[in-house]
Amino acid sequence: MARGTKTPPPADDFVENITDIDVQDEMQTAYLEYAYSVIYSRAIPDARDGLKPVQRRILFSMDELGLRPDRSHVKSSRVIGEVMGKYHPHGDQPIYDSLVRLAQDFTMRLPLVDGHGNFGSLDQGPAAARYTEARLAPASMTMVAALDEDTVDFEPNYDEQFQQPTVLPAAFPALLVNGASGIAVGMATNMAPHNLVEVVDAARHLISHPDCSLDDLMKFVPGPDLPCGGQIVGLDGIRDAYLSGRGSFRTRATVRIENVTPRRKGIVVTELPYLVGPEKVIDKVKDLVQGKRLQGIADLKDLSDRTKGLQLVIEIKNGFNPEAVLEQLYRLTPMEESFGINNVALVDGQPRTLGLKELLKVYVDFRIDVVRRRTQYRLDKRLDRLHLVEGLLIAILDIDEVIQVIRTSDDSGAARSRLIEVFDLSEAQANYILDLQLRRLTRVSRIELEKEQQELLEAIEALRAILADEKLLHRTVSSELAEISKTHGTPRRTTLLESSGTPAAAASLEVADDPCHVLLSSTGLLARTTTADPLPEGGTRRKHDVVVAGVSTTARGEFGMVTSTGRLVRVSAIDLPTMPPTSGAPVLSGGAPVGAYVDLTPGEQVLTLTSLRADSPGLALGSRQGVVKRVNTDYPSKDTFELITLKEGDSLIGAVELRTGTEELIFVTTEAQLLHFNADLVRPQGRSGGGMAGIKLGSGDTAVWFGAVDPQLPNAVVTVAGSADALPGMDSATPGSVKVTAFEVYPGKGRATGGVRAQRFVRGENVLVLAWVGPTPPRAAGPTGTPVDLPEPDDRRDGSGAPAGGPIAAVGGTPR
């Protein structure tokens, strides 16, 4: 059973005194005290050193522990315990959070703590304090430098057992360089990081020109410099913030649009807005795509690693405008964020909203005071030392008498008094002589003392000059800032943009079905261009400038590729990379290989491109065994189908889309025979037909080229001779003789005849390795697509060729 307790009676002299308190006044007073505590002791940084109390206490404690950059790391838990036990009687987690922030290079523009271990990322928190280690970063040594030289005031800690600095000496403007964020009661601060070099230059300019304007300072500090880079769009808000202390600006990711696969373009993100992690972007994009609020995205991959850094690859669907998709990403995802500047900091213990000039002025005035106090401290120390040295020199000059005085004295007090009286010394000098070691009485010691005396006199003169001349003091501060900038400064990371340019949202999200040209280069690259004339006459010759086939279509249309096995493969033009328009010959080096659009069997090649128009006169095909065929245009809707039934061992060597049906069909053989006849002589056949005889071939002769030309236009015949004994695969790459002749000098013959001689072989030549007939001017290219000059046209139909300027692998011209 519980026992009842009795309240003891009050003492006899007890007088009851009940005070009535207004609850409203008591709550107001308590709340104000709490608010002041949060503002001054926790959330708002000091405008002088840019630190909150917990950050200042962390750096001070680490400096006391000797955790300098040249020492080894220690466990973060040890630092937290030191800070919490001596200076910051709050929870260990807030202290660790502050320590982590000081070490994160993606948060601080110039980290003040050198962390070892997992200090977190933009998407994940740090490891526990027992797993991580820390020490002071090189930059933080400038924050605590000269702390023991009476540069700042100290105050008792919470239990008055230790002394702590009210502010750190701060050799650079840490508040502007690293920024700050904090929420107090009734106010908050949110400051963006800046570039150290720019801020120091502005501070030095302010020292030299105290009456300078904001525009003068913004020549040095044009805007924030975020640790993660990125872009800042719109500078008006920045100027407002620098003027009044409040403003906002937009930060956006740094991206580039490129071909991420041979068939698709993509947006590669290399830098994100300040404090935005890749996981946040990925999750938002996935939600938008699944909710069908974001269109045009096929895939998103995070390829970030330690070597390449951040790399998010957003693959765009074919048929969508990458610029318009990017504008949607900026509008709907964290790839573009707004940063609100609120420069609230403590000045003389009071929270104030400061512009750029005010922030710099508070720091410069503080730094001047620090250097003045440090100079006075060093002067006093050197004066004290000089006083002792001078007394010691007096004693050394009369050392025997000094020893006699000391030996004949009853005690140290009497010796001190007699020394002061006999040698006219001060008490400090007399004590120093009494503490003197006998080894200091040598001749060498006297020389050293005289040298030290001279050095002290020079140092004292220099220090007095700084204190006596305000301009020299300012120059000293400025030069120290310049040295800090040179040692710890880094190039700007963030790009500043006046505006975002023409909004891409104004453009259609999907690519318009505009007319375009699809081109095939000699090196097997495909591309489409919107240029009205894809192959203008003349212009500068460039790599891959030999176009062996071209077809007109629309951006969302289809075209066909004819292969050497007699297949036709449908391809969508929207899948092709788009080449920018040029004033000269097209540049197809950015095209995609044909292998990305069709699976080719070993030995199979793409011969030409063709439209799929139903009103076309059809295709004309020519095979290696001299077979010719015209194919009807009733193509099936299948993606791949056969155009001709070829005999065993035969293959197509050429295919051309007819325009009028009255073109001249041309065969050129390895024996240098050329035959041309009118297309009317070949009746159209269905796709299963095997064709008919096109050219009569001699023993061992094969057709090397087949095509068609309009006889009403100027055309040229290009033949390249070589040796049949060349190594396999080297015949077309070996320089031989090349001949260019006007097509009109070749008489026409009937179909299935042998044709006429096109080139006379010289010694070492016995075969044509390459031929081409087409509109002038012809263009030749080597195996890698580099241009090769052709000789002047030859009037002789059966003449010999001229030495080639290099290996010729392909010849092309301007398609009509």
* Calpha distance 82→75 (Å, rounded): 11
Picking from 175, 173, 177, the residue whose alpha carbon sits closest to that of residue 225 is 177
Instruction: Tell me the average pLDDT across 361-374.
Output: 97
DSSP per residue, 161-212 = SSEEESS---SS-HHHHH-EEEE-SS-EEEE----HHHHHHHHHHHHH-TT-
- Structure token digits, residue 60: 């001070």
Looking at domain 51-169, which CATH architecture does it have?
Answer: Alpha-Beta Complex (3.90)
Percent of the chain with pLDDT over 90: 55
pLDDT over threshold 70, residue 783? yes
Confidence of residue 308 (pLDDT cuts 50, 70, 90): confident
Average confidence (pLDDT) over 99-115: 96
The mean pLDDT of 283-295, rounded to a whole number, is 92
pTM of the shown model: 0.73
Q: How far is CA 230 from the centre of its chain?
A: 8
CATH class of the domain defined by 365-488: mainly alpha
Q: What average pLDDT does the chain have?
A: 87
Q: Output helix, strand, coil percentages for the chain, rounded to the nearest 5.
A: 30, 25, 45
**For 672, phi and psi rounded to 5 degrees?**
70, 30
The mean pLDDT of 710-724, rounded to a whole number, is 89
Q: Comparing C-alpha atoms, which of 76, 61, 176 is closest to residue 116? A: 76
pLDDT in tens, 553-595: 888 888 999 999 999 999 888 878 777 665 555 566 667 788 8
Amino acid (1-letter code) at residue 704: V
Per-residue confidence (pLDDT) for residue 443, from 0 to 100: 59
Selection from 715, 719, 723 nearest residue 738 by Cα: 719
The topology (CATH level 3) of 254-334 is: Gyrase A; domain 2 (3.30.1360)
Give the pLDDT score at 440: 67
Domain range summary for the chain, segments of one domain joined by +: 51-169, 254-334, 365-488, 515-812
* Measured distance CA(758)–CA(128) in Å, rounded: 84
What is the pLDDT averaged over residues 266-276? 94
Domain 515-812 bears CATH identifier 3.40.950.10: no
54-63, 165-174, 735-744: range with lowest mean pLDDT:
735-744
Secondary structure (3-state) at 337: strand
CA distance 782 to 256: 33
More confident site: 806 or 500: 806
Mean pLDDT for 737-752 is 91
Show which residues are catalytic: 131
* Strand locations in 714-757 (E): 715-722, 737-742, 756-757
Please give the average per-residue pLDDT across 257-274, as a whole number: 88
Q: Please classify residue 678 by burial: count the beta carbons closer than 10 Å to its beta carbon, then call 0-12 exposed, 13-18 middle and 19+ buried.
A: middle
* Cβ atoms 737, 805 nearer than 8 A: no
